[in-house]
Structure 1
Amino acid sequence: MASAPTTKKMMEEAMCSICLQLMTEAVSIDCGHSFCRQCIEDTFREKNPIESYQEKFTCPLCRKPFQRESLRPNKQLENLIESMKELECERLCEEHGEQLRLFCEDDGRLICWRCEHSPQHRGHSIELVEEAAPGFREILQIVLTDMREQENQCQSLKLATKEQTRQWKEKIVHERKKIQFEFDKLYNFLHGEEMWFLWRLEEKKEQTLRSLKDSEASLEKQSQELKSYIRELEKKCQQSAQDLLQDMRDTLGRSSAVELKVPEAVSLELQTVCNVSELYLDLKKMLKSYQVCVTLDPDTAHTDAIISENRRQVTYGGPQLNLRNSLRYLDLPWVLGCERFTSGRHYFEVDVGEDSGWDLGVCLENAPRRALMSLQPTSGFWVIRLWKGKEYVALTNPPTSLPLKEQIWVLGVFVDCEAGRVSFYNVTCTVSHIFTFPRASFSDTLRPFFGVSQGCTLFLNSQ
Structure 2
Amino acid sequence: MTSTTITQKIKGIATCFMCRAVMKHPVSISCGHSYCSCCLRDFCNRRVGYSRPSTYNCPLCLEPINLNTVRDNKQLERLVELIKEIEETEDELLCEAHEEQLQLFCEDDGQLICWRCERALQHQGHTTQLVEDVYQGYKEKLEQAARNLNQLQEECTDQIVWVTTQINEWKQEIEIRKQKIKSDFKSLRTFLREEEKLYLWRLEKEEEQMLRRLRESQANLQQKSRELKDQIQELEEKCQSSAQNLLQDVKGTLSRTCAVKLEAPEVFSLEVQTACDVAELYLDVKAMLRRHQVGVTLDPDTAHPHLYLSKDRRQVSRGYSQQNLEVSSRRFTAFPCVLGCEGFTSGRHYFEVDVGEGTAWDVGVCMENVERGLGMKQEPELGFWAIRLCPENGYAALTSPPTALELQEQPLVVGIVLDYEAGTVSFYNMTTGSHIFTFPKASFSDTLRPFFQVYQYSPLFLPSCNE
| TM-score of the aligned structures, taking structure 1 as reference length | 0.41
| TM-score of the aligned structures, taking structure 2 as reference length | 0.41
